Structure 1
Amino acid sequence: MFQTTFLDYLKTELPANTSTIEAVATALDISYDAAHRRVSLKSKLSLDESIALAKYYNLSLDRLFETTSTEFVTIEKTKHIESEAELQQYFEDSYQSLLPLLQQKDSTLLYSAKDIPLFYNLNGDALSQFKYYVWLKLLDPQLANKSFDNFAPSPSLIIAGKQLGSLYSNLNTQEIWDITTVNSTLKQIHFYFQAGQVKSSTALQLCDLLQQLIISIFNKLMAEDHPFLLYYNELHLMNNNVLVSTPNNQLLYVPFTLLSYYKTEDKHTCKEAERFLTKQLQNSKLLNTAGEKERNRFFNKLHAKINALKQLIEATELLDFE
């Protein structure tokens, strides 16, 4: 059954007028007769041959399970990050993974935002560089004792980040936020300020940039020509899951460490995630169409959090007990 499912999938992915037998023979470097026996199911495809075919024609082995079981899912894991070079590679790989999906007409991206979506922190400004600093500080032992003022990300890292962030600028996106979505960034600024790794003037600058980011998201929400929907959910905790949907398939990204994630194209799993996220949307307020009072109330709460941190930093600097 697996072989039949896999070969049927292969046929749908081959260019028009391409012989399946010829395709198998080419990929496996076997004779036409040997390929015919495998396509006609007279001979079994070995595991190595199945993997070779999948790699040669860029096929997902998830399909072997989609029609036979809903309990097993094939996933792909991003590489572990322990250096600036590996963070740059992560940006580049993520760009290459998303680009062909998001270039398809009518593609959408649904983001359950426990934290401010990654794409907003990749424009190369001081706030995005601070996020690079935080990520690498936790992942790269060489940065253990380096302050933010002495941290200088390479131009190639900034370029790779901007390239990934550019995918998000005009994309048809739906984001689900809560008031707590900004908390992790605020905590990071506060923590490294208290640890003496960020100067008070720099910490205040980061708060100002965070407020500018919130304002830009508000402006994007109000722009009638931008395909962006922002939902406010007071009930459920977000989890940073991302569901990309195209006319032909879906792809689910599930975080498992600070930046790394699992991704799968498994149809059953993506549909289950879509149903759950749809329920979240139904229990959320769409701020695009909400009344001015409700919309301003949400954004004012975000700004109040940022202002509270600014006041704490200024008070600490003024008192200077330590």
Structure 2
Amino acid sequence: MFQEVLIQEVGKNVKKETSIIEAVATALDISYDAAHRRTSFKSKFSLDESIKLAQYFNISLDKLFGTSTEKYVSVSRTTSIKNEYDLQEYFETSYNSLLPLLDRKDCEVYYSAKDIPLFYTLKNNKLSSFKMYVWLKLLDKNFRAYKFEEFSPKLSTLQSAQKLGDLYKDLNTSEIWDVTTINSTLKQIHFYYKAGQLSLKDSLELCKELKELLDDISKKVVSKKHKFKLYHNELLLMSNNVLIITPEQQSLFVPCAMLSYLNTRDKETCLEAKQYFDKQFYHSRLLNTVGEKEQNQFYYKMMQKIDALCDLIKAQDLLGFE
């Protein structure tokens, strides 16, 4: 019964010009004859092969094992991070799992940006190092005493991070922001400055790089070279959900802890997520098509927040945190 259901589901996801045997052989990297024996029920799929086929053809494991209901879907979870080694592994694992989806020209990405999207902060600059510093301060119990100026990420960590960040370049991307999207980063800069773990100079440089990031995003909005859409929604309570869609597969990432995501490829769940995104787009302003005045107002509000933080830090430095 299980074998028959699996073959049926594979058949639904195979292109018309490809036979099921060829598709199974490609997915499992086995010979045509070995695939024929399995599809003709002369031999059985192993559990590993079944999972591999389900992942390759985006088939719900719940459906295969007869546990599918409207209330339950299968999800995978990223591993927890406890130190810099885990952080580097997180970057590498994320890259390997996202590459088959994001490397396609027909890929579409939808991002509900409660915070600045992770991919923007994976570069070789001070802001990227600071974000790693914050993550490790919160996740690594042995990292508490470190000041930012004492933190120097390993070259391998920086390379893994930048490799993941580069995946996000020039994609067909639709993001939903509000002027509050930068609040978390601003609070982190202020918090660690007041805690005496971030110098005045570094604090101001981080604010400068944050402005440069916003400026880069504003240029992408008006550039015709990028398939990038930026929506402004003042009412949506965003949650850093990410939806990735290709003609054959879809994948939804929902945050469950810092840098930790639950991931599902369940078609119905991803379809509902897409419909929700569409509703939010409808109630948002697409900055790519509004006038220059509205675009400038959006960026100006965030720039004002950054300037206000710079002024506050400078004043507190003069007063000695009084």
Same fold (TM > 0.5): yes
Contact 2:88 2:156 in 1 (8 A): yes
CA 18–248 in structure 1, closer or farther in 2 if over 3 Å, else same: closer
2: CA distance between counterparts of 1:320 and 1:71?
Answer: 55
CA 56–106 in structure 1, closer or farther in 2 if over 3 Å, else same: closer
Give the SS at the match of 2:259. Answer: coil
2: CA distance between counterparts of 1:308 and 1:272?
Answer: 40
2: CA distance between counterparts of 1:56 and 1:289?
Answer: 42
CA 321–245 in structure 1, closer or farther in 2 if over 3 Å, else same: closer
CA RMSD of aligned residues (A): 2.8
Partner of 2:320: 320
Report how far residue 124 of structure 1 moved. 1.5
Partner of 1:221: 221
1:54 aligns with 2:51: yes
1:15-164 maps to which residues of 2 (within 5 A)?
A: 16=18, 19=21, 49-55=46-52, 58-59=55-56, 62-65=60-63, 68-164=68-164
CA 247–319 in structure 1, closer or farther in 2 if over 3 Å, else same: same
Report how far residue 3 of structure 1 moved. 4.4
Report how far residue 105 of structure 1 moved. 2.6
TM-score, structure 1 normalization: 0.88
2: CA distance between counterparts of 1:27 and 1:301?
Answer: 53
Q: Hey, which bits of structure 1, 4+ residues long, moved more than 6 A?
A: 40-43
Partner of 2:181: 181
The one-letter amino acid paired with 1:294 is E
Report how far residue 65 of structure 1 moved. 2.6
- Provide Cα deviations, 1:255-297, integer angstroms capped at 9, x if missing partner: 1000010111100000010111111110100001111111111
Partner of 2:210: 210
The one-letter amino acid paired with 1:224 is K
**Structure 2, unpaired ranges of 5+:** none
Query: Which has the larger displacement, 286-295 or 63-72?
Result: 63-72
Query: Which has the larger displacement, 11-20 or 136-145?
Result: 11-20
Count how many residue pairs are aligned between Structure 1 and Structure 2: 311
Report how far residue 64 of structure 1 moved. 4.2
The one-letter amino acid paired with 2:264 is T
Identity %: 46
1: CA distance between counterparts of 2:53 and 2:227?
Answer: 36
1: CA distance between counterparts of 2:224 and 2:105?
Answer: 20
1: CA distance between counterparts of 2:105 and 2:170?
Answer: 12
The one-letter amino acid paired with 1:129 is S
Contact 2:54 2:60 in 1 (8 A): no
2: CA distance between counterparts of 1:131 and 1:276?
Answer: 29
**Structure 1, unpaired ranges of 5+:** none
Report how far residue 4 of structure 1 moved. 3.1
Query: Which has the larger displacement, 94-103 or 120-129?
Result: 94-103
Report how far residue 98 of structure 1 moved. 1.1
Give the SS at the match of 2:288. Answer: coil
